[in-house]
Structure 1
Amino acid sequence: MAVCGAGTCDTNLAAMAYRVGYRIADVGALLVCGGLGGVMEAACHGATDAGGMTLGLLPGPDSTSANPFVHIAVPTGLGHARNVLIVQTAQVVIAIGGAYGTLSEIALARKCNRRVIGLHTWDIGHDEQGRPHVIAADQPEEAVRLAQQHIT
């Protein structure tokens, strides 16, 4: 499961991201993210505390930019283009808050036929069948439960 969100965030979003990460690890899934701070770090922290594994696909060429809770750091050197790798690596994406970088990950996920679960993030309408592009969740545990429904 991928977690996407801003590299800086307030304590409320960080707490939600932590709970998402914890629950991802608790259900036995690998957490994939951009490997930096903010939402990504909080989610990785939660996953680590729950005994899970985290994979950080970093934008730059240096693995030392990874947050301290990334177990496997991959320095891509691709900048924002690494967002394609994040969504392609995961079967489902959980977006938490975020700005334009998160919006790009949501759009790429939908383009790659990945479902997106959202916590306080972008609402980008519905597909041709009337399904929301971003499935809204109110709580972190609900987000992971909804994400599990889209894993094969």
Structure 2
Amino acid sequence: MTDSSRRHRPYIAVAGPGEATALETELARQVGGLLAQRGAVVVCGGLGGVMEACAEGAGAAGGTVVGVLPGGDRTAANPYVTVALATGLGELRNGVLVNTCDALIAVGGSWGTLSEVALALHAGKPVAALRSWTPPAEAASSGQARLLVEVSTPAEAVDNVLSRR
């Protein structure tokens, strides 16, 4: 990989609950692996659940994982994070995560995931929702809501965000 292609790799955030279901964990692991196989840098919250599963999948595929941590301790990152950013910002780190990425994949749903989806849409970034938050029908026609696409599989999520970034 040349220096130029390394600098222009897509940065794709994967958001989801820290306390994930077995299905959410498996979907996130597949998303992380597929993103890494396609050359994307995976950005996540760096802790457990969906964040750890996507990092594990990306790492197993030889990818780079940036963990944007809420606390001030880099060692709190899950073991699959390549680069740990200790922000000390608590949940406000969601804004850092969104501003770092080119697009976001939401796997499952929690209040933190909802905030990341909302921040990404507000920033005009594409979002693929995999068993996650989707806008109410009356909001679906708004410009920001059109950035949010509901997808059914990890491959569809990855294809969707990489084609729209």
TM-score scaled by structure 2? 0.88
Alpha carbon RMSD of aligned pairs, Å?
1.3
The residue aligned with 1:102 is 113
Q: 1:131 to 1:109 in 2, by over 3 A?
A: closer
- The match for 2:151 is 137
Partners of 2:95 and 2:150 lie apart in 1 by: 22
Equivalent in the alignment of 1:51: 62
Match of 2:51 among 40, 48, 54: 40
Structure 2 unaligned regions, length at least 5: 1-11
Q: What residue ranges of structure 1 are gaps of 5+ in the alignment? A: none
Specify the SS of the correspondent of 1:8: coil
Structure 2 CA distance for partners of 1:46 and 1:130, relative to 1, 3 Å: closer
Which segment is superposed worse, 94-103 or 125-134? 125-134
Using the TM superposition, give the Cα deviation of residue 132 of structure 1 relative to its aligned residue in structure 2, in angstroms. Answer: 3.3
Q: Percent same amino acid at aligned positions?
A: 42
CA contact (8 A) 1:20 1:141 kept: yes
Judged with a 3 Å threshold, the aligned counterparts in structure 2 of structure 1 residues 129 and 61 are, in CA distance, closer, same or farther, namely closer
SS at the partner of 1:122? coil
Please report how far the alpha carbon of residue 11 of structure 1 lies from its aligned counterpart in structure 2 after TM superposition: 1.1
C-alpha change, 1:127 and 1:108, in structure 2 (3 Å) is farther
Contact 2:151/2:157, CA 8 A, preserved across alignment: yes
User: What is the identity, as a one-letter code, of the residue corresponding to 1:108?
Assistant: L
TM-score, with normalisation over the residues of structure 1? 0.95
- Are the structure 2 counterparts of residues 61 and 127 from structure 1 closer, same or farther at C-alpha, using a change threshold of 3 Å? farther
Q: What is the CA deviation profile of residues 39-64 of structure 1, one whole-angstrom value per residue up to 9, with x for unaligned ones?
A: 00000000000000000000000011
Size of the aligned set, in residue pairs, is 151
AA in 2 matched with 1:73? A
Which protein is richer in helix relative to its size?
Answer: 2
Paired residues for 1:20-31 under 5 Å: 20-31=31-42
Deviation at 1:128, TM superposition (A): 2.6
Runs of 4+ in 1 over 2 A off after TM superposition: 127-134
Structure 1 residues 83 and 129, CA gap change in structure 2 (3 angstroms): closer
The 8 Å contact of residues 7 and 39 in structure 1, kept in 2 or not, is answered as: yes
Measure how far apart 1:131 and its partner are: 5.5
- Letter paired with 1:142: E
